[in-house]
Structure 1
Amino acid sequence: MGRGLFATGRDTAYRKPVWLSARYAYGFILPHHKSMERFTRNHVSLYEVAVSFNSEFSDKINGFHFNSGTSYLYSSLSDTRILGDVHAVVPWIRQAYRINAFSFSFRLGLGLAWVTHPFDLETNFQNTAIGSHLNAAILINSGLNFKPDDRWVWSAGLNFIHFSNGSTKQPNYGINLPLIYAGISYNLVKQQGIRPAIKIDSVTGRFYIGLQAAGGIKQIFPVNGPDYFTMLAAPYAGYRFTHGFSGLLAFDISYSASDIDYLKSKGLIVTSKNDVIKTGLSLGFNQNYGPLGLSFRFGYYFHQLEDSDGPFYDVLSLSYRLLKGLDGRIMLKTHFARADFVGAGFSYTFDF
């Protein structure tokens, strides 16, 4: 932070920065499925407005700076006649490493999106990307930032944004946007007062174990088919590298009732529900900011009877601390940008 952050004034209370940001991004729709190629003829513009708050311990953890915020995203996508517009609200956590006035940052967010023209069998059957108005929105961002003073930040970098309904309604190939962006941020709070001394508990170097579990519903083709129960349970172990940031290793156990009907449609015999249980091992990270947390894991199936999605998967989840050790959690499981399911559940952590 600049010297304005430490301005003196015996009777003046310190005020935390509040940042208002505007970003413009430009890119295209990734044709991850053959039916998505029709939407790649035009490029895509995306607009973002964000409000964010600095962490109290920003400059105290190994040179890293943390903050969290919420973004509003808007894009007309590449073909408004078919795909319509998308509006999204995405909470996110950002971590940056700063050297003088420059910093490199990574931002990860999970929120909700509204698509104006989803698939409709009678009025919009050409939209094979999204089958519902309400969708999940994933934001992944990396950027280079320049902060000349305490009021302004200039930034540029790369975005990857994913919209899908987690297969709760077909069709659901999802929309994936690789983008380049440029933006500006302004601190709404004039810095004054003396920043109080910050006491941080020493939690680095600690191992912990826990359990995540989430359940939901999904559909498979044909369109307007039945709803199937699906779930994921994951015992995990973690190690805290910094305050709030830890590595994760998880043993994933997933089940979807839709796999039974899918295998039967291919002429395969399923004798028990246990036949379609998938198991895998995943590695990732968890980042906490106060009660809010985001985690990402990338995994490999070592047992699956229904293998049409391939051997790799990833799990992104947003959590909120309810009680000590207990978090509420929203979880999205995908196979390389193809959504498997979205569900709600919990996680419980035991510290050593």
Structure 2
Amino acid sequence: MKKIYLLFFLCSFVGFGQNTNALSLEASILRGNALPHTEDMYHLVNGHPQGLMLSLVNRTDGSKEWHQAYNFPDYGAYFLYQDFNSQPLGQNYAVGALYNFYFWNRHLQLKLSQGIAFTTNPYDKVENSKNKAFGSKFMGNTNIGLAYDNQNLFKNIGFHAGILFTHYSNGRMKSPNSGINTYVLNLGLNYNFSEDFVRKPDTTTVAKSYKEPIHYNFVLRTGINENPIINSGQFPFYHIGFYADKRLNRKSALQLGAELFLTKSIQEYIKYYSVAYPEENISVNTDYKRIGIFVGHELLINRISLEAQVGYYAYQPFKKDIPIYDRVGIKYYFTDKLFGGFTIKTHLFLAEALEFGLGYRL
């Protein structure tokens, strides 16, 4: 493990000569703790997770309007390795996209990243029945970090230190899927490929109002998932939403809407539950459909935006989940009216679905 850390740090100092490109390479070592959120997780977290994160980012230079609006953020790709120091959990490898946002004279960095992870030791009925966190080899990965950052500590070399929160879940595409959350100390260095990089704010930009009238949106989110019973089978789901949005300024829009959840795996869960637990008096004909109302916020960056919603089930005949749900994810506008998205829907820390969406804004 120490040799791997050393290798990545050495890589971070490999230069490409004197050039004017905006690329920067970050290398970080990680060590911390897992956050058990269900009773069947405590026996899995008997060690301190450790790992490394390597990021290749592009530093924005002010050539586009959104660069200056967001105080010249970075965007790019990351590789994340985590060893949970737990035999049932094994190791995870993840790749994905990231944004770094800066505050406090660019010394406070907020990192947001999302990608796909691979685990070396998923649940297996015979070989690894203790691992209720990962039911499949592939899953989603989300990371949020806050760190002190000094990008020019010595010439091209910078330093950062802070905390990183990581989350892994397959969105219950396959059970079991308790998922796992960790918080780790993040200590690392960065190498800027050019000393000549200069940010050039566009002083010719004319201030304008971004306020808009209320718009109405239709969105269909779909995918497959499995109910909590292991090997009960994967079924498609269709989440149909209608909501109004009101853009307040350059960065923010508020949402209010309702949606219909047609989740076929819940229909199968009702059939199982009515037979397995007759004392609960659950009818096999209980309606599996749910209707939710929600409020949300959209952070508008460029054609990409970040979306967060919190909802309540106004109609939920089968009440095996709490009545509050939430959703976070990323949205991409193909045009001013047509958009796509990737979101994760959860009940607090318990994921229900990885959703692929397509919508239209009137």
Q: Quote the residue 1:106 is aligned against.
A: 110
In the aligned structure 1, how far is the partner of 2:349 from the partner of 2:341? 20
Contact 1:17-1:191 at 8 Å conserved across structures: no
Counterpart AA for 2:149: N
User: What is the CA RMSD across the aligned residues, in angstroms?
Assistant: 2.8
Greater Cα offset, 254-263 or 144-153? 144-153
Partner SS for 2:295: strand
Note if contact 2:44-2:131 (Cα within 8 Å) is conserved in structure 1.
Answer: no
Q: CA deviation at 1:315?
A: 0.9
Counterpart selection for 2:100 from 81, 88, 94: 94
- 1:162–1:175: 8 Å Cα contact kept in structure 2? yes
Residue 309 of structure 1 is matched in structure 2 by 321
| 2:55–2:77 Cα contact (<8 Å) kept | yes
Aligned to 1:268: 282
Conserved in 2, the CA contact under 8 Å of 1:162 and 1:337? no
Highest RCO, 1 vs 2 (Cα 8 Å, sep ≥ 6): 1
Alpha-carbon contact 1:25-1:180 (below 8 Å) kept: yes
Aligned residue runs from structure 1 range 317-332, under 5 A: 317-332=329-344
1:334 corresponding residue in structure 2: 346
**Residue 74 (structure 1) aligned with residue 81 (structure 2):** yes
User: Aligned partners of 1:277 and 1:270: how far apart in 2?
Assistant: 16
Per-residue CA deviations over 1:29-53 (Å, capped at 9, x if unaligned) read: 2111111101221111121000112
CA contact (8 A) 1:278 1:305 kept: no
Question: Do structure 1's residue 60 and structure 2's residue 107 form an aligned pair?
Answer: no
In 2 relative to 1, CA 211–33 (structure 1 residues): closer, same or farther, beyond 3 Å?
same
Question: Structure 2: which 5+ residue stretches go unaligned?
Answer: 1-18, 275-280
- Give me the TM-score of the superposition, normalised by structure 1: 0.83
> Kindly tell me: are residues 49 and 269 of structure 1, through their superposed partners in 2, closer, same or farther at Cα, counting changes over 3 Å?
same
| 1:26 counterpart residue number | 31
For 2:97 and 2:216, the matched residues in 1 are separated by: 26
**Contact 1:129–1:172 (CA<8 Å) still a contact in 2?**
yes
How many pairs does the alignment contain?
A: 331
For 1:3, the equivalent position in structure 2 comes to: none
Q: Which residue of 2 aligns with 1:181?
A: 186
Match 2:232 to one of 210, 219, 225: 225
1:72-221 alignment, distance < 5 Å: 72-79=79-86, 81-99=87-105, 102-148=106-152, 151-191=156-196, 195=200, 197=202, 199=205, 202=208, 204-207=210-213, 208-221=215-228
Q: Is the 8 A contact 1:280 1:303 kept in 2?
A: no
- CA shift, 1:199, in A, is 4.2
Asked if the contact 1:247/1:285 (under 8 Å) is kept, the reply is yes
Query: Which is further off, 190-199 or 82-91?
Result: 190-199
Q: Secondary structure at the match of 2:40?
A: helix
Q: How far apart in 2 are the matches of 1:133 and 1:83?
A: 11
Q: Which residue of 1 aligns with 2:290?
A: 277
Residue matched to 1:37:
42
- Asked if structure 1 preserves the Cα contact closer than 8 Å seen for 2:312 and 2:325, the reply is yes
What TM-score, normalized to structure 2?
Answer: 0.81
Q: How far apart are 1:335 and its partner, in Å? A: 1.4
**1:245, 1:286 within 8 Å by CA — same for their partners in 2?**
yes
Structure 1 residues 284-303: aligned runs within 5 Å:
284-288=297-301, 290-303=302-315
- Bigger mean CA deviation after superposition, 292-301 or 131-140: 292-301
| Amino acid of the structure 2 residue aligned with 1:269 | S
